[in-house]
Amino acid sequence: MVNVKVTGSQLRWQQTVALGDGKAGGWGWVELPPDANTRDNVSYFAFGAETHLAAVIVADDPALGRLLSRAAAPAPSQLNQSSVVIKPSAVPGYDWQPVALLVAAARDDSGWMQEDGVRRFLDGGGVAVIFPSADGVTNTARVTSWRKDEGPLADAQGGVELAVNELAVTQRVVLPAGETVTVLASFADGQPFVTREPVGRGWVYRCATLPQPAWSDLAEGTVLVPMLQRMLREGGRRLGTAVNGVCGEDAGAAAGELWTQLNRNGGTTAGASSVAPVVAGVYQVGGRLVALNRPAAEDVREAVDETTVRGLFGSVPVRFFEEQAEASGNLSSEIWRVFVVAVLLFLIGEALLTLPGREGTR
């Protein structure tokens, strides 16, 4: 147990916990002192044994394939990662079970992206990133906006930004849009640079340019390497024995699997459910640990405009704080004006009463 004292309204705190040899998983929690709302005082987490993360690069160009392979697994032995480059013709029948990330930089003339194995890979929680495979539009551009709080381009620990705005892009493609597509980064003209789309339990990312000199300087690696590393870790979650999810979501559990809640004493809570719990905590589901927490959106305080509030109350009289403050401010100014005049009159009267009288002249 570690006690942390919060001295301000916000605190960024990092704690290193020794996990031993990494052969076993576990779980824990972070807890704040009790207050009026006890439901947001505890956050649970679970971790599994160290997992090997494998990436598969599908590329027509051998040089591009080697570059993407190095970016996906820059230090295989030190980081417990690996990557392999294959041709599109090798996709049918490929074993995607141990794969965390699919990097696509090849034409889909044969429809290999729709191959059953790839679809099952994505449906099961895998992650794919698609780079352009056709000629782009020559148009020098800079990336001016991107999500810094989450996703593959988020700030590093300590608030250090990735050098996304320093990328020089000379050729790009227009990425497809849709209701389920989220734009994670955009160029100055508003066109997307990186997008994300859910497919089953997995994600498909798309990038508007290639890490090749004719396209951009993305090959320098300051953005490409951390971007692919984060996608690799995200795709590796489906391979681990621990899952961190949100209350009410299945977190990858199969239909009918029992959820048994674990207590802080190392035991289990009586009873089990076959549906995803809506109460935060750590659960045993099959051979996995699943930590569930309240959705982050519940902690976001949204502002409601005055018109909406008055509409909700209908004919009921409503007075806003701003109105009361304005009214009290006017009242205060009027009272002070009266006091100022009264003090001036008092001083004048005092002066008249205390002035010495004139002596008569002879």
| DSSP state letters, 119-142 | HHHHHTT-EEEE---S--EEEEE-
Query: Parallel, antiparallel, or unpaired for β 137-141 and 143-146?
Result: unpaired
Low-confidence ranges of the chain (pLDDT < 50): 324-328
The upper half-sphere exposure of residue 129, i.e. CA atoms within 13 Å in the direction of its Cβ, equals: 30
Which pLDDT does position 199 carry in this prediction? Answer: 94
Q: What is the DSSP letter of 173?
A: -
What does the pLDDT look like over 61-75, one tens digit per residue? Answer: 999 999 999 999 999
Quote the pLDDT of residue 20. Answer: 65
**DSSP tag of 188:** T
pLDDT at residue number 139: 84
Q: Please list, in sequence order, all residues whose beta carbon lies within 8 angstroms of the beta carbon of residue 168, skipping any fewer than 6 positions away.
A: 140, 142, 216, 217
Smallest CA-to-CA distance from 104 within 138, 146, 63, 64 is with 64
Report how far residue 114's alpha carbon sits from residue 123's, in angstroms, rounded to the nearest whole number. 12
Beta-carbon contacts of 63 under 8 Å, excluding residues fewer than 6 positions away, are none
Q: Which pLDDT does position 22 carry in this prediction?
A: 54
Helix (H, G, I), strand (E, B) or coil at 307: helix
